[in-house]
Structure 1
Amino acid sequence: MGPRGAAFSGSAPLGSGRSHRIAMLLENERYPQDTRVRHEAESLVAAGHRVTVIAPRGQEQARVETIDGVIARRYRLPVASGGLRELLIEYAVAHVQLFARGLRELFAGATVVHLHNPPDTLFPLGLVARALGRRVVFDHHDLAPELFRQKFGPSRLEAVLSAAELASLRSADAVIVTNHSARERALARGVSPARVAVVRNGPRAATLSHSVDQRPGALRDPRLLFVGELEPQDGVMAFPRILSLLRDEHGLGEARLTVIGDGSCRAPLERALAAAGLADRVRFTGWVAHRLVPGLLAEGDICVDPAICDEKNHRSTATKTAEYLGAGRPAVSYDVVETRRTAEDAAAYAPCHDERGFAALIAELAGDPERRRDLGERALARASELVWEHSETALVSSYARL
């Protein structure tokens, strides 16, 4: 992997506003494993701010450490098995930890509280910050009501989550969103356009592939790659069916899949693969250091994203989409609105919910080296437009206006 985009070789531009002491609160991922949070924190440090990230503590992680200028303070969380009861317990523990530690940061001099969702229920700490004359940033990663519905089905709790989202949006001095669908959501809920900034997920310019490297000819043993969480909304339980279709309908019984990531669906997915006689065709790496991801992507022929077509996914931008583009790899996805907006013509799209069509696109790419190369070249061209450094400018500018 080589550098690309020399215009971004320097450090982040300093904002014209004052330097802030920022307390970032994170519940649903560890730090620095959360790519978006890591990029934001490092960019804000480079822009002259002091950043502390309060996040869950993983195994073998230090309670407190400084990583690339960012102070990470971690707390323990119970491990949720995926059920609603376990999730509520996790959230209850997280809220106690985050509120206590957030208040400690405010009383120690933090001038900005930066709330990462989900959940959307951290806004009371933002109200305390505003009462103390501090600033509040709401970082809208996911549509929490739709995410809840994906996992647990319709529930009266959706109304509570919708109200919490509204409170989070309206109580913030600045709202940061991942795409224009989320911006439209914020505007529809009464947030002033001047307070909303689109800060897309994207790879750093230095991590982009220098060229499209691929195995030649038609592939009888395509190497497939998936990066990300293994949760119901990510569509990963379709992998046994897709691999079976490649074997039974396209003669690609030697196809192999590498899964980089983890989540609540891993155990049931492993069982389903074993039941289908496909366990030896899939390698699970678990979570790996982010610096290793580009190298793993370079080993693959075709990247896949089987995220289901629903309201939440249509409005969400997956980090993996930009990572696939940055690796210069052809990718297959369902025709999800924000995935298409992100990748444009640099990916192949199957009709929503059509597993047979999804598998057919993989087989088509495996047999057509020119098409693979064309998509790879389009991917690199599109990735250069989506590198983190473009988003960094929007982020730092948003802080300069606080």
Structure 2
Amino acid sequence: MPGKALVLVENLSVPFDRRVWQECTTLRDAGWEVHVICPQGTKRDTEPEAVIDGVHILRYPLKAATGGPIGYLQEYGSALWHTFRLARRVGPVDVVHACNPPDLLFLVARMLKRRGAKFLFDQHDLVPELYLSRFDRGQDLLYRGVLAMERATYRTADVVVATNESYRDVAISRGGKRPEDVYVVRSAPAVERFRQVPPEPELKQGKPFLLCYLGVMGPQDGVDYALRSLALLREQRSDWHAVFVGAGDTFDEMVTLAGKLGLRDQVEFTGRIPDEDLVRYLSSSDVCLSPDPRNPLNDVSTMNKVMEYMAMAKPIVSFELKEARVSAGEAAVYAPANDESAFAGLIAKLLDDPEERARMGKIGQARVAGPLAWRESAKALLAAYDSLVPPGSGAGR
């Protein structure tokens, strides 16, 4: 056995967090004993303890933040206390693998490093950029505190795993990490989850075309940009129905906005739905939307929904973002950053060009099956672990 790994997650339950679950099962398949500490879900992953496919999971109750930055401090404080408590229960490990946000889990890692563990920091988000993009408070005292926590996390980490090259550059430049200690492990869709099924015309609500958004609905995710773009599109044509799949902090606000824009009869909000229903909508869609506006976080982040749209061979409309182009390439068309009129125009152009839609879909599917496939990310993840616990080193507890 290579050793014992403890994966720490705060912002999603496991296995609901698809990236973390792929990492856990990859490590398990490589012979690692894998333990996870994460919050409990509300409708799934509710058990305080479970063993799923050989992965040991301990979950704690956690109330999601409300009321801005102070609410997040309360949430993170509670999560940190529970994580310390459960980490002691797990006992000594060879690798502690902490996934952000928040950049507070280095405190748990320090405790475990004193017992001989190595620390792998799995940077899902650039939290300083997330703070700037989500709260629009500028570089205030809290922002400086967020930067300090990120610096402390980088200093504590033996190895950093980044989701793309932009994040890797930050780990090296801002974090001071050696290039050889930063590995790119891209998020990739689970192929068993995203398999096309026969289209269902009835999902289009009597319209010729279906537009689809899949993902989180938070302040920085651009659902409001998508809705305003659709209001502009409807001024040109009404031969489409749109479905927004997912939930988040601004879900109710977005439903209200759709009503104010006069879109209630053409826009459907499903909330979170089972995978089989998600695949039905994506299989029936003609164009998929990635309306994340350009901001300090989005420009350098890899959007999971873009990868998932490509897995389903769907053409994408996106704003001009650095990492969106890296991920999608010619599988997407790009409106100038935050230009809602141009975004609407590109949707209309694709609706009128079925051959281009098919071409883009094939390109995206080939990218996800080839250079962006999880098997490539799995190799990088295992290389990062091998750098911490070399094969044959006699690790294992």
TM-score scaled by structure 2?
A: 0.90
Matched, 1:240 2:227: yes
Local SS of the residue matching 1:226: strand
Deviation track 1:317-374 (CA, whole Å, cap 9, x = no partner) reads 1111111111100000001100101111111100001000000000111111111111
SS of residue paired to 2:134: helix
Residue 386 of structure 1: SS of its match in structure 2?
Answer: coil
Paired residues of 2:93 and 2:112 also in contact (CA < 8 A): no
Task: Report matched runs for 1:207-356 at 5 Å.
Answer: 221-248=208-235, 250-251=236-237, 253-290=238-275, 293-356=278-341
Match of 1:199 among 185, 210, 214: 185
Give the gaps of 5 or more residues in structure 2: 389-397
Counterpart in the other structure of 2:77 = 92
Amino acid at match of 1:255: W
Q: 2:380 is paired with a residue of what secondary structure?
A: helix
Paired letter, 1:133:
G
Contact 2:255 2:269 survives alignment (8 Å)? no
Q: What is the match of residue 3 of structure 2?
A: 20
> 1:82: Cα distance to partner?
5.2
1:389 aligns with 2:375: yes
1:77 aligns to 2:62 (yes or no): yes
Is the contact between residue 82 and residue 264 of structure 1 (CA under 8 Å) also seen in structure 2? Answer: no
Residue 386 of structure 2 is aligned to residue 400 of structure 1 = yes
Partner of 1:181: 166
Specify whether residues 292 and 172 from structure 1 end up closer, same or farther in structure 2 by C-alpha distance, changes over 3 A only: farther
Q: How far has the Cα of 1:313 moved from its partner?
A: 1.0
1:327/1:214 Cα in 2 relative to 1: closer, same or farther (>3 Å)? Answer: farther
Residue range with higher mean Cα deviation, 372-381 or 274-283: 274-283
Preserved CA contact (<8 Å) 2:196 2:283 = no
Contact 1:237 1:265 in 2 (8 A): no
Contact 1:130 1:136 in 2 (8 A): yes
Query: Conserved in 2, the CA contact under 8 Å of 1:246 and 1:255?
Result: no
Corresponding residue pairs, total: 378
What is the Cα deviation at residue 401 of structure 1? Answer: 1.8
1:328 corresponds to which letter in structure 2?
A
Match of 1:137 in 2: 120
Deviates more, 1:61-70 or 1:143-152: 61-70
Q: How big is the shift at 1:296?
A: 3.2
Distance 1:266 1:114 in 2: 31
- Is 1:360 paired with 2:345? yes
Residue 38 (structure 1) aligned with residue 7 (structure 2)? no
Note if contact 2:100-2:122 (Cα within 8 Å) is conserved in structure 1: yes
Q: Please tell me the residue identity of whatever aligns with 1:194.
A: E
Instruction: Tell me how far 1:302 sits from its aligned partner.
Output: 0.7
1:114-161 residue CA offsets vs partner (Å, 9 max, x unmatched): 110010111121112221111111000000011011121212111111
Tell me the SS of whatever aligns to 1:90.
helix
Structure 2 match to 1:126:
109
RMSD: 2.1
Q: Distance in 1 between matches of 2:276 and 2:127?
A: 29
Q: Tell me the percent identity.
A: 36
* Cα contact 2:213–2:290 (8 A) shared by 1: yes
Q: CA deviation at 1:211?
A: 11
For the 8 Å contact 1:330–1:373, the answer to whether it is kept is yes
Whole-angstrom distance in 1 between the partners of 2:101 and 2:341:
33
State whether residues 208 and 380 of structure 1, in contact with CA within 8 Å, keep that contact through their aligned partners in structure 2: no
Does the CA contact (< 8 Å) of 1:207 and 1:326 recur in 2? no
Q: Report the secondary structure of 2:7's partner residue.
A: strand
Higher relative contact order at CA 8 Å, sep ≥6: structure 1 or structure 2?
A: 1
Task: Name the CA shift for 1:211/1:281 in 2 (closer, same or farther; >3 Å).
Answer: closer
